[in-house]
Amino acid sequence: MDRILETALKEFIAEFDGNVMLPHDPQYDEVRQIWNAMIDRRPSMICRCVSPEDVIKSLNFIRKHDLPFSIRGGGHNIAGNAVCDDGLMIDLSLMREVHIDQDRQCASVGPGCTLADFDAAAQEYGLATPLGINSTTGVAGLTLGGGFGWLSRKYGMTIDNLLGVDVITADGDQLHASEAENADLFWGLRGGGGNFGIVTRFEYQLHPVGPNVLSGLIVYPFDQAQSVITQFARFTETMPDELNVWMVTRKAPPLPFLPEDVHGKEIVALAICYSGDPAEGEQYIESLRGFGTAHGEHIGVQPYIDWQQAFDPLLTAGARNYWKSHNFSSLGAGAIDTVIEYAGQLPSSQSEIFIGTIGGQTGRADPEAMAYSSRGTNYVLNVHARWETADEDAHCIAWAREFFSRSQPFASGGAYINFLTEDEADRIEFAYGASYGRLVELKKKFDPANVFRINQNINPAWMSPD
């Protein structure tokens, strides 16, 4: 570090209200780590912000010294964009305040919050908004890429419930964006990822949910996969919005309701959440029980926040992860056959293929209303390779890529931007579809120098092929 930069750094640290962490600091290695252990980058400094003013100070320092930088919320993003090498990490994970306005049924949420933080605060009032399915996920990244989960069929995408944001743009301006104020920026932030600024506060619409929901798992033998997944595909086409059913095929974890001889063997699981009256939900679950002869089930009325954390033990930090994803409008025989073929070749005990069901309210929004435009998507398929050691990298990644290639002919348009890995820059334009040209124009307006570029990047220099 040259003397000028060293002097400037001392001045910056003296003015910074949060904590600036350097590589020699004891907690540096812990703080720089993110969820996906395949990402092992070393920023030159980590700015742990506690206020929007800290974010502005960080951006000013970055611009003045022309430093690369990344932005960390929850640090859960599969591509690892939260951390960079030899630059500055703007770490928002300490900004975790949540304020619930019970009368207006809305929430003000800090950018460092996880789903667990948000859910716990909202459920004190029997309220929730659609989020993801792993409580350690950061709210910020989930939202800016779209966001969907158990409640999405009833209440839409996470971004469909976003009322407004406070955002700091590339030139350091603090703006509020909503339908009524900076509406073009608000359009882009709802699905455009971190391309347009750093959001320091989110405001969400809340809905009455819980505090208890009917939810759980039915686990079938893998040799019944053809019948079970085919029936799942047909059932989910007509089920009510209050019900959501996802399909997961993997090796069975040691769940207490499964016989021991099933543990470690391939299974097909249906994950179920009914957000309405549990008594009404029982009739639909009874239909699901008829899909085959189950190994076992664990279904009942439980707190919504418990169900939101049910899959956390399978998605802990520290494993190596590689994802590939497709959108589907429907699930035909070709797609189902390909899922079954590759589910029979799982490369590790933690790898899985899951199909997240959306549709319902998510498909009723105007595709042009916001940057996320894949409103014809009823299913999001994710092939999730997950393993422990670098020696397994080639085998597990090859399995995921081969399955992705084989299943592509059956997919519909677009892709879920939050599921794109760091090697999929060529799919970003495809993911946004018809929205991409408008996103480029917005990028030119708010970030023409592409300051925010360590992300699923929208390049302001892109030229339309027309």
pLDDT band at 2 (very low <50, low <70, confident <90, very high): low
Residue 355 and residue 330 in contact, taking contact as beta carbons nearer than 8 Å: no
pLDDT of residue 465: 73
The number of CA neighbours under 13 Å toward the Cβ of 291 is 33
Residue 1: pLDDT over 60 = no
**Which pLDDT does position 4 carry in this prediction?**
58
Q: From the CB of residue 10, how many other CB atoms can be counted at a distance below 10 Å?
A: 10
Tokens of 438: 């408008």
Nearest by Cα to 293 from 268, 311, 328, 264: 268
Amino acid 341: pLDDT? 98
Confidence label for 111 from pLDDT (cuts 50, 70 and 90) = very high
Confidence check: pLDDT of 268 > 90: yes
The residue among 104, 150, 106 whose CA lies nearest residue 131 is 150
Question: What per-residue confidence (pLDDT) applies to 41?
Answer: 97
Q: What is the DSSP letter of 391?
A: G
Q: Which amino acid is at 97?
A: E
* Paired tokens of 201: 């506060």
Mean pLDDT, range 326-333, rounded to an integer: 97
Q: Which helix (H) or strand (E) holds 286?
A: helix 278-289
Q: What is the pLDDT of residue 80?
A: 95
Write down the pLDDT at residue 337.
98
Residue 466 has pLDDT above 70, yes or no: no
Task: Name the amino acid, one letter, at 62.
Answer: I
In the predicted model, is pLDDT for residue 159 greater than 70? yes
Q: For 166-192, what is the mean pLDDT?
A: 97
Specify the pLDDT at position 453.
96
143 pLDDT more than 80 = yes
Structure tokens at 196: 């347009």
- Residue 213's CB is within 10 A of a number of other CB atoms, namely 27
Sort 28 into a burial class: Cβ within 10 Å, 0-12 / 13-18 / 19+: middle
d(CA 162, CA 302): 27
Residue 3 confidence (pLDDT) above 70? no
What six digits make up the tokens of 81? Answer: 């964009």
Q: Band of the pLDDT at 5, cuts 50, 70, 90?
A: confident
Q: How many CB atoms lie within 10 A of CB 302?
A: 17
pLDDT of 28-68, one tens digit each? 999 999 999 999 999 999 999 999 999 999 999 999 999 99
291-300 burial by CB neighbour count: b if 16+ within 10 A, else e?
bbebbbbebe
Which spans in 192-262 are helix H? 225-235
Q: How confident is the model at residue 413 (pLDDT cuts 50, 70, 90)?
A: confident
- Condensed to tens digits (0 to 9), the pLDDT of residues 198-243 reads 999 999 999 999 999 999 999 999 999 999 999 999 999 999 999 9
Q: Which tokens belong to 310?
A: 């049910």
In this prediction, residues 256-279 reach a mean pLDDT of 97
Are 38 and 82 contacting, i.e. CB atoms less than 8 angstroms apart? no
* The amino acid at 420: L
**Helix, strand, coil percent values for the chain (each to nearest 5):** 35, 25, 40
Region 106-127: what's the mean pLDDT?
98
**For residues 7 and 361, which has the higher predicted lDDT (pLDDT)?**
361
Question: Distances in Å between the alpha carbon of 413 and those of 130, 379, 407, 430?
Answer: 23, 12, 13, 8
Look at residue 265 in the predicted model and tell me its pLDDT. Answer: 97
The per-residue pLDDT for range 392-411, each reduced to its tens digit, is: 999 999 999 999 999 999 99
pLDDT of residue 462: 84
Q: Is 290:200 a contact under the CB 8 Å cutoff? A: no
Q: Residue 137 carries which DSSP code?
A: S
CB 107 within 8 A of CB 99: yes
Domains and CATH numbers, the chain: 3-91 (3.30.43.10), 98-208 (3.30.465.10), 212-419 (3.40.462.20)
DSSP letters spanning 90-108: EE-TT---EEEETTTTEEE
Per-residue pLDDT of 415-453, as tens digits, reads 999 999 999 999 999 999 999 999 999 999 999 999 999
Contact 431, 183 (CB under 8 A): no
33 contacts: CB under 8 Å, gap ≥ 6: 75, 317
